[in-house]
Amino acid sequence: MRWTALFALAAVCLAAGKIQAQPQYPDRPVKIIVPYIAGSAPDVAARQAADKLTAGLGQQFIVDNKPGASGNIGGEAAARATPDGYTLLLMTGNHVINPFLYAKPGYGLKDFAPITIITRLPSLMVVPPSSPAKTVAEFIALAKSKPGQLNYGSGGIVSLANLSAQAFRLATGIDYVHVPYKGAPDIVRGLLGEQINVAFPTMPTVVRLAQQGSLRPLAVTSAKRSAAMPEVPTLLEAMPAGLDGFVQDSWLSLAAPAGTPPAIIERVYATLKKAAEAPEFRTALSSDGSEVVFNTPAEFAAMLPGESEKYQQLIKKLDIKIE
C-alpha cells in the first residue's frame, strides 16, 4: 500500500510538472493574415495592432498580406489554418457580405472565432466641389430632376461603396448610373476630375481631401457624427424622413480560425484592450476618421448575426447575382 501511494503521488507530481512546463501562448511568432494590399486601411490597422501585440506578449506578430477576390483569398487561408492561435485574420465587413455575393467564397462566419473590432469605418458621401448640391436634400432634388443622368463611382459591384450607393437609391427613389472602378484611388480621381457626381468611399480614403475642401462632404453613413469632421451631419440627420434607419459602415477586426482555444482569444483581446488605453495608440487608429472600438469577443460575436442579416436582405432587394 505504501509503495502504491508513493507511485500515485509521483504520478500526480509528474502530471503537475508537465502542466506547469507547458509554454504560455505565444511561444513562437504569430501570423496575422491581411486580405488586402500593403498600405490599405486594413493593412495599416493590422500593423498597428501587431506592434502592440508584439510588445505586450513578447513574440513577433507578423503581417502576411494575401490580397484578392474582395478579401476572399485571405479569408479562406485563415479559415483553413490550424486553430492554435498562431494564425489570425484581419477581418472586415466584406467577410460578412461576401458569402451572399460569391458562390464559393471559401468560408462562412462559422469558420471564424471573433476577437475584437479594432475600428469602425464610416463612409462619407462626397461630391466634387463644383457640384450644385451642398446638402443631401439638394443632391436628391438634383438627381430627381435629372433621372439617369447623374452617376456614382464605387470599387465594383461587391464593394461596400456600391452597396451604400444602392441602399441610398432604394431609400430615396433616385436613379443614377454606376461607374465601377478598380479601387478607392481611382474613385477619388474620378471625383476630382468631375467624371462622377457622387461616391460613398470609406472615410479614411477621402477625409483629408474633404477637410482641405478638395471634395465636398454631404454626410457620413454612420449612426453618429465623426470626430474627424463633426460639422458633417449623418444621413439620418440630413434626411431623416427618407433615410430612417440608414446606417452603412465597415469595420476592421481581428478574428481567429473557429476552434481556437478561448483562453488564447481572451489573451489577445486583453492585450489589445490594455494597449488601447494609451492615448497615442487611440490617436493613431482614429486620425483617419475611424472610430476606435475594441469590444469584447462576446460583444463582437453577438453583433455578427445582425450584420449578416442586414446585408443578406439588402443584397436580395438589389437582386445582385452571386458570382
Q: Give Cβ neighbours of residue 306 (< 8 Å, ≥ 6 apart).
A: none
Q: Which fold has domain 30-122+250-318?
A: D-Maltodextrin-Binding Protein; domain 2 (3.40.190)
The predicted structure's pLDDT at residue 142: 97
The predicted structure's pLDDT at residue 16: 47
The predicted structure's pLDDT at residue 230: 94
The predicted structure's pLDDT at residue 64: 98
Query: Over its length of 323 residues, how does the chain's per-residue pLDDT go in tens digits?
Result: 444 444 444 444 444 444 444 579 999 999 999 999 998 889 999 999 999 999 999 999 999 999 998 899 999 999 999 999 999 999 999 999 999 989 899 999 999 999 999 999 999 999 999 999 999 999 999 999 999 999 999 988 888 899 899 989 988 899 999 999 988 889 999 999 999 999 999 998 899 999 999 999 999 988 889 989 999 999 888 876 656 666 788 899 999 999 999 999 999 999 999 999 999 999 989 888 899 999 999 999 999 999 999 889 888 888 886 65
| Sequence ranges of the domains in the chain | 30-122+250-318, 124-238
Q: Which fold has domain 124-238?
A: D-Maltodextrin-Binding Protein; domain 2 (3.40.190)
The predicted structure's pLDDT at residue 2: 45
Asked, colleague to colleague, whether 30-122+250-318 and 124-238 share their fold, the answer is: yes
What kind and span of H or E run contains 254? Answer: strand 249-257
- 57 in Cβ contact with 67 (< 8 Å): no
Nine-digit cell string for 266:
481572451
* Residues forming beta bridges with residue 116, ordered by sequence position: 254
- 86 in Cβ contact with 31 (< 8 Å): yes
Of 292, 301, 212, nearest to 265 by C-alpha is 301
Q: Going edge to edge, which strands form the sheet with 112-122? A: 61-65, 30-34, 87-92, 249-257, 112-122, 291-292
